[in-house]
Structure 1
């Protein structure tokens, strides 16, 4: 049996906090993020951009950046909106969400820009 790893994520240390499944992997480069967004649109999921202040990242509520991008299939447009959100909110975490119409839930979400932690 393999050993379970403690990732040392603590509320008292904002820099150690995890943001979901992808947080336990190495930081994705732009091409890897592009592939994830391509996966979202290839599944027919609706992309959306959300953001929040680092001190509230553990909250269930993130601010929606504009409306979800219903029916969007252009990966570059999704990435441009994520970048626009980051530029407008440079200190916030920004994530891309893929909403699954069939399950009426999030199919996936990933943080693509990390805000400044204090």
Structure 2
């Protein structure tokens, strides 16, 4: 068995990967919904962050509004993901699920990719 190599270089912003899901093909709307449903089902708090592609690896990401503490409406969460993307069309937008028990990020995935500069 061989392990696939993903060439990722600082000199090539388009090659950079951001977490486990970034090595997979881009998620469909239905797949994103299933991830949001999973976070809600497990009682985690959803949050949305965004940043310019050129700063994705070197800076903190901007928080889109406040974390959505206790939000269980999947459609409302997806609407906020879409609103963040519409307001910041060139930015990466990621969905975060905060685990209440470990008080850390339990899930983190980029759902919209910005255009690298």
Give the TM-score normalised by structure 1.
0.96
Please list, as runs of the form range in 1=range in 2, the aligned pairs for 1:25-36 lying within 5 A after superposition: 25-36=24-35
Q: Please state if 1:111 is matched with 2:110.
A: yes
- Equivalenced residue count is 117
SS at match of 1:115: coil
RMSD over equivalenced CA pairs, Å: 0.8
SS at match of 2:17: coil
Q: Deviations over 1:26-53 (max 9, x none)?
A: 1110000000000000010000000000
CA distance in 1, matches of 2:47, 2:5: 31
> Any gaps of 5 or more consecutive residues in structure 2?
none
Correspondence for 2:49: 50
Q: Please state if 1:92 is matched with 2:91.
A: yes
Q: Deviations over 1:55-93 (max 9, x none)?
A: 011135110000000000011100100110111111100
CA distance in 2, matches of 1:57, 1:33: 20
Give the TM-score normalised by structure 2.
0.97
